[in-house]
Structure 1
Amino acid sequence: MSDNLKTIKELADELGVSKTAINKKVTDRERKLWFAKIGNKFVINGNGQKAIKEMFEGDTENRKTKTENLERKPKSKTENFQDDNENNADIKYILDIIEYQKEQIKDLQNTKDEQFKQLSNMQNLLDQQQHLALQDKNLLEDYKSEIKDLKALKLPLEAKKGNQLDKVEKEELERLKAQLKALELDRSKTEHLKTIEKQQKKWWQLWK
């Protein structure tokens, strides 16, 4: 038998029902669409198989629901109390989880605040360092300017000092020249006096 075609018995065995049950489900119109005769047997095409399976699956679900409803008994007060306790335990567990999550959120917020505080402190330190660096730069520029001004003043002072030294040296030289001249004059006078004394001695000896 082809994989796409099944006999009524094959489909009935697959669904766990009788051939009569399938024939009761299928209308004459559906039988013309889905059924075909091969030899002395009726076969069902793929569309028919799918539709018939859905019919019986619906019946199976309905029977199962009815059976469950019949088997379901009213709960006793004890069972209801146990269910309430279980529900309360579940609620308490959920509330505990919520509280734990709240604590985690609070810890994260505190950590975030602390990190923000540290970041602010670091920013303040950075601003202070930049301010000090700017002050150092300004002081260095001031020192350079002062050194430049001092160098500019030093040259005229040195020139002036040199001129003053030249003047002092000239005055000292003139003074020494005057002293030397005076000494020469004194020496000449002394020599002249010695010469006169010698001549006087000679004349004195001659007169003796």
Structure 2
Amino acid sequence: MSENLKTIRELADELGVSKNKIHYQVSKISSEYVVRNNSMKLLTAEAVKQIKENLGIELNSSLNSKLNTVKHQENTNIKGNTGVEGVELNSTLNSYLNSLKHQIEYLESQNINKDEQIKSLVEAQKQTQNLLDQQQRLALQDKKLLEEYKEEIKELKSLEVPLSDKNEMDLINDREQIERLKAEVVFFKKELSKIAEQHEVKRHSKKWWHFFGDN
């Protein structure tokens, strides 16, 4: 067999997993990385690389178990086997050590990416909360101002003296200002509703990443 191509059995033995698991991983990668020789599937170096990356987390515990088995076999073979067998065993051990190193590097890169994403979500949540606080303060101020204008209008209506033209104009202006304030209050309520929805989406996203990190 070409040293650049591997059978499914060879890769399964190398990684210490079942052939069915390798078959499943082969079905997930592009067929251009798989060479067919009659009814046999041969895996290119790129196919092997992708399968190892896809199996990254699962392989970690499997490789540790396999590595312990190889070390035990090495200790046994040193006592009773020939020098040639010892060289072959060392070659196998080196292969597993290299594979384990690759998986560790892969897992470390994944952890870095998750940490950066979590940090971004936390920062976005802080900014959203600050914006919500500002909008709530503005809404309270507008509500207070609106109440003050209502009280002034009530006082004007309670006066028994006929209103002059100037007072009538002031009243009209006051009413227009009240309507404008009402419109602003409605606008701020809509903005607060949008911000609350965005905050809820961010909060769920953070929970999802937290769940992803635990796994």
TM interval, short-chain normalised: 0.3 to 0.5
- Normalised to the residue count of structure 2, the TM-score between the two structures is 0.35
Q: Normalising by structure 1, report the TM-score.
A: 0.36
Higher relative contact order (CA 8 A, sep 6+): 2
Q: Which has the larger radius of gyration?
A: 1
